[in-house]
Amino acid sequence: MDSNQLEGSIPPFFRSATLLQLSKNKFSETRLLCTNTTVDRLRILDLSKNQLSRQLPDCWNHLKALEFLDLSSNTLSGEVPSSIGSLSKLRVLILRNNTFSGKLPVSLKNCREMIMLDLGDNRLSGPIPYWLGQQLQMLSLRRNRFSGSLPLSLCDLTNIQLLDLSENNLSGQIFKCLKNFSAMSQIVSSKRTINSSLYYPVGNGVGLGYDGYDLVALLMWKGAERLFKNSELILRSIDLSSNQLTGDIPEEIGNLIELVSLNLSSNNLTGEITSKIGRLTSLEFLDLSRNHLCCLIPPSLAQINRLSMLNLSNNNLSGRIPIGTQLQSFEASSYEGNFGLCGKPLDKKCPGDEEVAHQKPETPEESSPGDKKSIYLSVALGFITGFWGLWGSLLFIRTWRHKYVLFLNNIIDTIYVFMVLNATKFQRWLRG
């Protein structure tokens, strides 16, 4: 019943349904969600992209079987109801793109089977809770008002595949326990994708057949928001951008060999880019722009052949951009704002670079005065050497001088005889 023009209150028959998909309609009332009887069949409830508004009723404890709840893209406000924490079987909770505010209810720690929590694009505040479920595979708290340091409890998210905490007010350093993210540090199997089929159990031996249900994750990808569905969610991504994080980029990040997207831009990170970043051979997107990173770009970065988007702009990087087809293929804008950087694709040349490409041959007019003097001196020395080599030998060596005079006399006699004979023949020709 999704993608229609249905409006008004949610129909009461949801109490006997197993799956209720009413997304992309115009429903505005949620009162009928509250009931005095236990609803023990409903497992999937999708009310996304409707016109639900105001505060969400706090009466979810009767939906004992609920495993999937999507209320995204409405205008719901107020605090997240604490009764949602009573849904012990809940595995997916999507409240993205509403106006929820306040702190998250502590009762959510009771949802121990939750593997996807998407609360992005709200007005939630306070510190990130330390009790977030260890089974989480996807966690998105992007574009809220969370503050404080990153909790060490994030180190326990060994199954995490998508972590998005961007556009908050988080501070402190990036934890060094990233190596605990085993789902990002081990070779990915196609069976380990975040797949919608995980969320729809089989009841009484009969398959419900909801594998084609669209599970959607909204992520920043290559500078723009993009929706990833079902099988595309094999993507491994960390986005901590647009916060107030400080300190170095931990070298432990080099253990996440299956990481595809890393965005740490718009923070206050300092120090060098760890050389171990070259281990991230699956990386396609890397954004470290608008920080205070310094020193050289590690040559190992040129070894990431899959890298298709790179942004290191507006830092304090210096030295030559490592030479490699991969790094030279990006636009100059990927490196701008680093006044100490040089080399292609920037126009700024590095010290010692020789400008030999496409040079014109130097013409005599373009020769320097020093070059002209050298040429004239060489000609003069050659003439003097040749002149004295010949005439000096004749002057100082008597036998050579006699032979030379005899040689000249023979040539003169030969020329004289030749001319006399030809003159006689010419006279005879005139007379005849």
Do 241 and 221 contact (CB within 8 A), yes or no? no
Q: Which of 54-68, 82-96, 328-342, 365-379 has the lowest mean pLDDT?
A: 365-379
Q: Is residue 185 predicted with pLDDT exceeding 90?
A: no
Do 90 and 61 contact (CB within 8 A), yes or no? no
Backbone angles phi, psi at 374, to 5 degrees: -65, -40
Q: Which of 82-86, 215-219, 389-393, 394-398 has the lowest mean pLDDT?
A: 215-219
Instruction: Tell me the C-alpha distance between 202 and 210, whole Å.
Output: 10
Residue with the larger pLDDT of the pair 374 and 131: 131
Q: Is residue 402 predicted with pLDDT exceeding 90?
A: no
Q: Delineate the domains of the chain, giving CATH numbers in brackets.
A: 1-114 (3.80.10.10), 139-200+215-351 (3.80.10.10)
pTM: 0.75
Q: Is residue 399 predicted with pLDDT exceeding 70?
A: no
Instruction: Tell me the C-alpha distance between 6 and 28, whole Å.
Output: 10
CB atoms within 10 A of CB 395: 11
**For 72-115, how does the pLDDT look when each residue is reduced to its tens digit (9 = 90+)?**
999 999 999 999 999 999 999 999 999 999 999 999 999 999 99
C-beta contacts of 388-393 below 8 A and 24+ residues apart: none
Could you tell me where the beta strands, DSSP code E, fall in 273-337?
285-287, 294-295, 309-311, 316-320
Instruction: Tell me the C-alpha distance between 75 and 3, whole Å.
Output: 18
Q: How far is CA 225 from the centre of its chain?
A: 14
**For 258-309, how does the pLDDT look when each residue is reduced to its tens digit (9 = 90+)?**
999 999 999 999 999 999 999 999 999 999 999 999 999 999 998 898 999 9
**pLDDT band per the 50, 70, 90 thresholds, residue 209:** very low
Residue 2 burial (CB < 10 Å; 0-12/13-18/19+)? middle
Q: Which residues pair with 238 in a beta bridge?
A: 163, 262
Q: Is 259 helix (H, G, I), strand (E, B) or coil?
A: coil
